[in-house]
A and B are shown apart, each in its own frame.
Chain A
Amino acid sequence: MNDTTQIAQRDTGGVARSNQDSARRLTLTPAVDIIEDSHGITLWADLPGVSRDKLDVKVHDGRLYIEAEAVVPTPGDLQLHHAEIRAPHFARAFTLSEDFDTSKVDANLQGGVLKLSIPRREEARPRRIDVHVD
């Protein structure tokens, strides 16, 4: 069974401020793919220009936060003429349900794509119940 259930439309406006941050800066909403199977949830996020040390993934109070900063090496005297990516900061947050084991989140950043695997708790995994007929 493959069905698509979109629970949250991405705000393509993209430019928002995260008010968790005292610095109050402009941030972009990264595009994500979220797929769930019987083992857990897998999230891919596009974070171009982000290196491992500029990426911050944290789980706090049942919320998953992804915060990152893109660094693109450019010459110092560069004059920008056309920009489709204006803010170098990415931020997005998701609410996680109790079913997921947040202590076993696996994060992998490769080529500007973050892959997060969040397993389900053992007791929350679906299991088939045999029906006995007397």
Chain B
Amino acid sequence: MSDFYFSNDLFGELDRLQRQMSALFGNLPSSIRSSRTDAFPPLNMGTTDESINIVAFAPGIDPGTFEVTVDKGTLTIAGERKAPELAAGSETRAYAKERFFGTFRRVIELPQNADPDKVEAGYSNGCLTIRIGKREASKPRAITIQ
């Protein structure tokens, strides 16, 4: 893809600039706890009043090989992505190898109010969705004024 179609959209431009700069400097993290920007799988995280929702974009993985653990306030998603087997002996030529293969592990620090006993995980269309309940005491409550 060429740069021809880049827009004048500021958000997209900044995102692209940041990635290009980090690629230029070897993509090394600046903070001791920060991870590379191109880590696999990419994660999105959000919260609702009842739960903490995490989506890991990890396509092409056997759901049985995921290891999702909650320990000491952190959530760990680990697993392995296996490369497709190619017919041996045939003459092959690779033009692009961009997809990630191998073992991966990503750790997320959970908020204090996460309840480790209420974790649900599902895998569909290559997305691992994890829902962690919040402790009862931390849910927002309307206070009646007497």
B46 touches A29 (CB 8 A): no
Interface size on B, residues (CB 8 A): 50
Residue B146 at the chain A interface, CB threshold 8 Å = no
CB distance from A37 to the nearest CB of B (A): 5
B46 touches A74 (CB 8 A): yes
B91 touches A1 (CB 8 A): yes
CB under 8 Å from chain B, chain A span 35-56: 35-38, 44, 46-51
A44 touches B84 (CB 8 A): yes
In the bound assembly, the distance between CA atoms of A51 and B55 in angstroms comes to 16
CB under 8 Å from chain A, chain B span 24-70: 37-38, 41-49, 51, 53, 55, 57-61
A113 touches B53 (CB 8 A): no
Residue A132 at the chain B interface, CB threshold 8 Å = no
Interface size on A, residues (CB 8 A): 58
Q: A49-B126, A49-B127, A50-B126 are in contact. Are A18 and B5 (CB under 8 A)?
A: yes
Chain A at the B interface: SS class: loop
CB distance from B47 to the nearest CB of A (A): 6
Residue B103 at the chain A interface, CB threshold 8 Å = no
In the bound assembly, the distance between CA atoms of A18 and B125 in angstroms comes to 24
Number of A-B residue pairs at CB separation under 8 A: 174
Q: Which residues of B contact A74 (CB under 8 A)?
A: 46, 53, 55
B95 touches A72 (CB 8 A): no
Q: Which of A9-17, A99-107, A116-124 contacts B (4 or more CB under 8 A)?
A: A9-17
Q: Which of B49, B94, B96, B125 contacts A111 (CB 8 A)?
A: B125
Q: Which residues of A contact B84 (CB under 8 A)?
A: 44
A16 touches B6 (CB 8 A): yes
Q: Which residues of B contact A112 (CB under 8 A)?
A: 57-60, 125-127
Give the nearest-CB partner of B63 in chain A: A111
CB under 8 Å from chain A, chain B span 75-108: 84, 86-87, 90-100
Q: Which residues of B contact A22 (CB under 8 A)?
A: none
A48 touches B96 (CB 8 A): no
Name 10 A/B residue pairs within 8 A (Cβ), A-sorted.
A5-B94, A12-B38, A14-B16, A31-B99, A48-B58, A49-B126, A51-B125, A74-B53, A77-B48, A112-B125
Given contacts A12-B19, A33-B94, A80-B46, 19 further A-B pairs with CB under 8 A are A2-B91, A7-B96, A26-B12, A34-B95, A36-B93, A36-B94, A46-B126, A48-B127, A72-B55, A72-B127, A74-B53, A74-B55, A75-B48, A77-B48, A78-B48, A78-B53, A79-B46, A84-B44, A112-B57
